[in-house]
Homo-oligomer: A and B are copies of this chain.
Amino acid sequence: MYRTHTCGELRIADVNKNVTLSGWVQRVRNLGGMTFIDLRDRYGITQLVINSESKSGLSAKADELGREFVIQITGTVAERSSKNNKIPTGEIEIILDEIEILNPSELPPFTIEDDSDGGDELRMKYRYLDLRRTPVRRNLELRHQMGIEIRNYLSEKGFLDVETPFLIKSTPEGARDFVVPSRVHPGQFYALPQSPQVFKQLLMVAGYDRYFQIVKCFRDEDLRADRQPEFTQIDCEMAFVGREEVLSAFEGLTKHLFRKVKNIDIEDDFPRMSYADAIEFYGSDKPDIRFGMTFKNLTTQVQGKGFKVFDDAEYIGGICAGGCGDYSRKDLDKLTDFVRKPQIGAQGLVYVKYNEDGSLKSSVDKFFDAEQLKSWADIFEAKPGDLLLILAGPKSKTLNALSELRLEMGNRLGLRDKNVFAPLWVVDFPLLEWDEDSQRFYAMHHPFTSPVKTDLELLNSDPGKVRADAYDLVINGVELGGGSIRIHNSELQKRMFEVLGFTDEEARNQFGFLMNAFKYGAPPHGGIAFGFDRWVSLFAGLDSIRDVIAFPKNNAARDVMIDSPSPIHQNQLEELYIQLKSTE
C-alpha cells in the first residue's frame, strides 16, 4: 500500500499515529541540523522532518531528493513547534522513519508554485507540469463540481442526458465544419458537430420532452483570442414550452449553480432587456449591468449649433462617469487615445467636466455655452464632480465605441468586481440580418428560430423588423448561453426558408431529414445552449477559457504538448482515398 493518508489529511488529532504518505517533493530545506521536506499531492502539503534522533542514513537519502521527486515515506505524526496556520495540516509534521524514492524527477522547466516563473508557451508545452500547480488544479476541480451539479439538477428536473453522434454530416453551409474521411466509403466524409442542434430537435420530435447533454462541439474557425477549435456546451431542449418555461427552467439552473458553487443566493427574478434596449443603452447585446452608466442619446439636443463633428454625425451619445470631474488633461488624453484605437475606431472624444463649484468645462466650449452644457448634464442627471464623455459618428460604430468606453470607465472606477454577479436575459433579438453583399436575409440564430408570435404579420410586410423568440443569458457582460423557441409548424418553416431565399431543393438538401421528421408530429419546442468553458471561467474569475481546459490548444489551434496537428503517413492517406493537394 502506497499510503495510509493523503498529504492534506492529517491533523493534531492524529499525533503519534504511524503513517505512510506518498507524493511529490515540493522543497527540501536544511535548518539547524534538521531537514524539512514539504510533500505535496492533490489534497495538500504535509511537512516531513528528519531530526538528530532520526535513523542514520535518512539525511543522506534526503540529500538525494530534488524538486518533484515522487517519494513514499513512513513516519510518526507529531505536533509542530512552530505552527503554520496557512495550511490545514499546519499544526503537525511527520518525524520520518523511512524514505523510498518511487521515481526521480529531472529539474522541471519552471517552478510548480502558485505563481510560476514559466511563460505561457513553456507551460503549454509541459502542460502536465502546469496542471500540478494549485490554481490550475482548482479550476479543473471547479469544472468537475459544476458538471456534477448541472447534471444532477437537470436530471432531477426530468431532463434526460442523451448522447448524440460525433460523426455526422457536413452541410453546404458548413464551411466551419471539421470533416473526417471515411475509410469504408471512399470519397465520403463525416463531419464533427458544431452543435447537436438538429439531433436535439429530433429528440423532441421523438417525444423525449426534456433533453440535456454536456458535450464537445467543434468549429474550424478563423482563429481569435479565447476561441478553441473544440469547446464544451451544456446543450438543452424542452417540448411543449414557450419562452417563459425555458427561461424559468434555466434561471433555476443558474440560481442553483450560484448557490451550490459560489454560495450566492439570488432571490430576484433575473432582469430582462430587449435587444433594442441593450444596444441603445449599453451599445452591446451582452451588457455588463454590474454598473449603470447607461448611454444618453444627445443627437437632437446638440446638433445645429455649428459644431461640425456633431452636425455631421448620425448619432451623438455619451455616458456620465461619476466622480471623474477631476480628471486631468493627461487622463482625458489617455481616454481619447483609448477610443481612437483602431479596434474601437472613434474619431475623438468630447468631455464635459461638471466642476465641484457647479461650473462646467468642456472640450467644445467654443460651440456650446454654459446653459447648453448644463442642459446636457441634466439629461445625464449628473452631479458636481462628474464627467460626461461624449462620442459622435455613425450610429452602430459609435454605440460600439461608447460600449468599450463605458467598460473601460467601469474598470477604472472599480465597478466590475469579479465577486459580484449580475445576470440578465437579453430577449427579442432580430430574426433576420440583411446582408448587403448577397442582397439577402440571413437567420441571426438559425433558420429554425421562431418569430415572436405578434410579429408574424411583419414576415411578409417588413421581414427586417421581425423579432425572434430568442434569448441570451448574459452575466457580467459575458454571453453564457443562448437559445430560442423553434418553428414546429412546417408551413411557417417553409415561409421562413422563402424569406431566407432558399429554394425548396436547397432547404431539402440542407435540412431534409429534419424537415422530414417534422412531418410526423413535431411538438412545440425550444431550448438553449450554454458555453460550459465560459461559465466555469466566469465562476473561476478568469478572463480566458483556456485556463479551465485540461489540455487546451493554443491560438493557432495547435496542441504544442503533443504536437498536433501533424503530417500523417502516406499509407494512411491512401487508405482514406485522399491525397494532399500540391501547394504550388
Q: Would A206 and B163 count as touching, CB distance under 8 A?
A: no
A155 to B218, CA, bound (A): 27
A129 close to chain B: CB less than 8 A: yes
A578 close to chain B: CB less than 8 A: yes
Instruction: Given the known inter-chain contacts A230-B167, A519-B105, please indicate yes or no for A22 contacting B563, CB distance below 8 A.
Output: no
Q: Would A206 and B129 count as touching, CB distance under 8 A?
A: yes
Instruction: Given the known inter-chain contacts A104-B521, A166-B230, please indicate yes or no for A207 contacting B578, CB distance below 8 A.
Output: no
A40 to B240, CA, bound (A): 13
Q: Would A41 and B160 count as touching, CB distance under 8 A?
A: no
Q: Which of B144, B160, B190, B563 contacts A565 (CB 8 A)?
A: B190
Q: Would B577 and A170 count as touching, CB distance under 8 A?
A: no
Instruction: Given the known inter-chain contacts A218-B166, A564-B168, please indicate yes or no for A209 contacting B41, CB distance below 8 A.
Output: yes
Chain A 185-205, CB-CB to B under 8 Å as 1, else 0, gives 111111110000011001101
Min CB gap A331→B, angstroms: 42
A182 close to chain B: CB less than 8 A: yes
A220 close to chain B: CB less than 8 A: yes
Query: Chain A, interface size: which category?
Result: 35 or more
Min CB gap A145→B, angstroms: 8
Chain A 92-110, CB-CB to B under 8 Å as 1, else 0, gives 0000000000111110100
A232 close to chain B: CB less than 8 A: yes
A399 to B47, CA, bound (A): 57
Q: Would B520 and A68 count as touching, CB distance under 8 A?
A: yes
What is A's interface to B at a CB cutoff of 8 Å? Answer: 1-3, 22, 24, 40-43, 68-70, 102-106, 108, 126-129, 131-132, 137, 140-141, 143-144, 147-148, 151-152, 155, 160-170, 172, 174-175, 177-192, 198-199, 202-203, 205-209, 216, 218, 220, 223, 229-230, 232, 240-242, 245, 488-490, 513, 517-524, 549-551, 553, 556-559, 561-569, 572-581, 583
Min CB gap A565→B, angstroms: 4
Q: Would B184 and A223 count as touching, CB distance under 8 A?
A: yes
Which residue of chain B has its CB nearest to the CB of A210?
A: B42
Q: Would A192 and B216 count as touching, CB distance under 8 A?
A: no
Instruction: Given the known inter-chain contacts A131-B208, A170-B566, A172-B569, please indicate yes or no for A180 contacting B162, CB distance below 8 A.
Output: no
A276 to B24, CA, bound (A): 38
Q: Would A2 and B187 count as touching, CB distance under 8 A?
A: no
Known: A131-B208, A184-B557, A185-B557. 11 other contacts (CB 8 A): A1-B242, A131-B202, A132-B206, A143-B162, A147-B151, A148-B161, A162-B550, A167-B559, A180-B565, A183-B220, A187-B580
Min CB gap A26→B, angstroms: 11
Min CB gap A226→B, angstroms: 16
Q: Would A550 and B164 count as touching, CB distance under 8 A?
A: yes
Min CB gap A109→B, angstroms: 9
Min CB gap A347→B, angstroms: 35
Q: Kindly list chain B residues whose C-beta atoms are within 8 Å of the C-beta of A140.
A: 160, 162, 208
Min CB gap A46→B, angstroms: 14
Q: Which of B106, B175, B198 contacts A520 (CB 8 A)?
A: B106
A-B contact pairs, 19 of them (CB 8 A): A1-B242, A1-B245, A2-B241, A22-B523, A24-B207, A42-B208, A102-B523, A102-B524, A105-B520, A108-B520, A126-B520, A131-B206, A144-B162, A167-B559, A169-B565, A178-B180, A183-B220, A189-B565, A216-B216
